[in-house]
């Protein structure tokens, strides 16, 4: 089987990570793959904020949990009330993906970059997960202050978070529907 196809077929969303940090050369390789993603008119209206500082990760988790509790979405609030809940599975690295949402197709561009990161991570023996429920991170004054502190460019908004680290679980493949494809020949 082709190596790229093998990696795509073996990739799983990892929600439990070991505590050891990923080496910088692997992180740089993953980020380079993000930058090589196709994007509309080569605008590159994306921004990637890499967070590895344990204190900052803890602060982000606390703000996110507080905002989830205040979201008005019951299942998210219940999840966030659990003191052991960590939305990032204790990943030692997260990448906050933001975009200039006034740029046409910026969210699609970010999704393509995110997929490149997920595939690159798997090919390097790392676990990853893409998360969108992190949209609540900037939904409060604390969150907006954090956004400035993290250096997110003015006018850029949350798209997703990528968690990265060494896998501490081996999820099974989940079934995929085949009835979502039709052919017109």
**DSSP character at residue 38:** -
Q: Which domain holds residue 52?
A: 14-165
**Is 185 within the bounds of a domain?**
no
Quote the pLDDT of residue 101.
Answer: 87
Quote the pLDDT of residue 102.
Answer: 94
Token reading at 86: 């960590």
Task: Please state the length of the chain.
Answer: 185
**Is 91 within the bounds of a domain?**
yes
pTM over 0.85: yes
Q: Structural domain tally of the chain?
A: 1
Give the CATH number, domain containing residue 107.
3.40.109.10
Secondary structure string (H, E, C) spanning 147-172: HHHCCCCCCEEEEEEEEEECECCCCC
Alpha-carbon distance of 170 to 184, in angstroms, equals 38
pLDDT values of the chain reduced to their tens digit, one per residue, 185 residues: 899 999 999 999 999 999 999 999 999 999 999 999 999 999 999 999 999 999 999 999 999 999 999 999 999 999 999 999 999 999 999 999 999 989 999 999 999 999 999 999 999 999 999 999 889 999 999 999 999 999 999 999 999 999 999 999 999 889 999 999 999 99
**Is 6 within the bounds of a domain?**
no
Place of tokens 């908004």: 157
Whole-angstrom Cα Rg for the chain: 17
**Is 99 within the bounds of a domain?**
yes
């Amino acid at each position: 089987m082709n190596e790229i196809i093998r990696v795509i077929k073996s990739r799983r969303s990892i929600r439990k990570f070991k505590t050891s940090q990923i080496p910088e050369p692997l992180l740089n390789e993953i980020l380079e793959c993000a930058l090589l993603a196709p994007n509309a008119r080569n605008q590159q209206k994306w921004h990637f904020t890499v967070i590895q500082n344990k204190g900052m990760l803890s602060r982000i988790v606390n703000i996110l949990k507080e905002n989830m509790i205040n979201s008005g979405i019951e299942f998210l609030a219940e999840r966030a009330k659990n003191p052991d809940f960590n939305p990032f599975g204790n990943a030692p690295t997260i990448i906050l993906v933001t975009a200039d949402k006034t740029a046409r197709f910026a969210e699609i561009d970010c999704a393509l970059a995110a997929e490149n990161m997920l595939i690159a991570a798997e090919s390097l023996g790392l676990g990853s997960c893409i998360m969108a429920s992190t949209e609540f991170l900037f939904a409060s004054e604390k969150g907006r202050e954090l956004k400035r502190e993290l250096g997110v460019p003015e006018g850029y908004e949350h798209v997703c978070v990528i968690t990265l680290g060494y896998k501490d679980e081996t999820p099974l493949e989940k079934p995929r529907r085949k009835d979502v494809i039709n052919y017109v020949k």
